[in-house]
Amino acid sequence: MSESAAMPEGAIVLDHVTKSYGDRVILDDVSCSIPSGQTTVLLGPSGTGKSTLIRLAVGLAAQEKGDVIVLGKNVQSLERKELLKLRQRFGMLFQDGALFGSISVADNIGFPLKHVAKKPAPEVDARVQELLELVGLPGVGGRTPDALSGGQRKRVALARAIALEPEIVFFDEPTSGLDPQTSASIDALINEMQARLGLSFVVITHDVQSAGAIAHQVGMLFGGKLLAYGPKDEVFASTDPTVRGFLDREPNL
């Protein structure tokens, strides 16, 4: 697919994408369109291609076949300068938060504003306070991450991820390592942020309950194949035995 051709609709479009590492096929002829302004959850066991899909979308890996179109750009065809410009339209919440332990919460959130966007200090400070209010953590900017709970660190990481007002935010296991009540509060925060900001959220998770709470769209990857993809209610009603087994937490016999 050429850049001059009409691009398919969707924040992220995979068009017959195949990706391998050595002899191992990770994504096998995968096609889907991840819509703008919704939360799309990618489910599946470990090693089935969820993280690889995100790596392709942000240009950290290249597919052997097919096209990956992100925000109207064919990622693999971009020059480095264009790719870096595209990445500035993304936010990322890593599984462990990836916060800098040696600096304050405020400096963590302000890091991309100061070092990427080159905003002046007063503007950075104002935006940091706004973001802390937004994620429900007013007044904690002077603390260091190790003084926060796991759920609070996830909130700080989300504040940093949306600091530059991205169009797409990627979440890697946002409820990993959290107790059920804290997980529910993070799910509620994701829903609130998505509804308020209207961003495209793409979430990788093993947590079926969390997926049910936050997803508009769900994709189920298994063995390199996209076994199911569509509105949450449709996928959760799937009769495919592999999809059903994962959703119902059946043991691997």
* Domain regions of the chain by residue span: 1-89+166-247, 99-163
What does the pLDDT read at residue 98? 82
Q: What is the CATH number of domain 1-89+166-247?
A: 3.40.50.300
Tokens, residue 171: 């979440």
- Contact, 173 vs 206, CB < 8 A? yes
Compute the Cα dihedral for 153, 168, 49, 73 and give only its sign: negative
Which residue shows structure tokens 């990857």?
221
| Residue 212, number of CB atoms within 10 A of its CB | 15
What does the pLDDT read at residue 222? 93
What does the pLDDT read at residue 48? 84
- For the segment 80-105, the average pLDDT, to the nearest whole number, is 89
**CA–CA dist 182, 8 (Å, integer):** 38
| Cβ burial, residue 186 (10 Å; 0-12/13-18/19+) | buried
- Contact, 155 vs 135, CB < 8 A? yes
What does the pLDDT read at residue 97? 63
Q: Is the pLDDT of residue 6 over 70?
A: no
Residue 73 Cα to chain centre, angstroms = 18
Q: pTM above the 0.85 mark?
A: yes
Of 2-11, 114-123, 219-228, where does mean pLDDT reach its minimum?
2-11
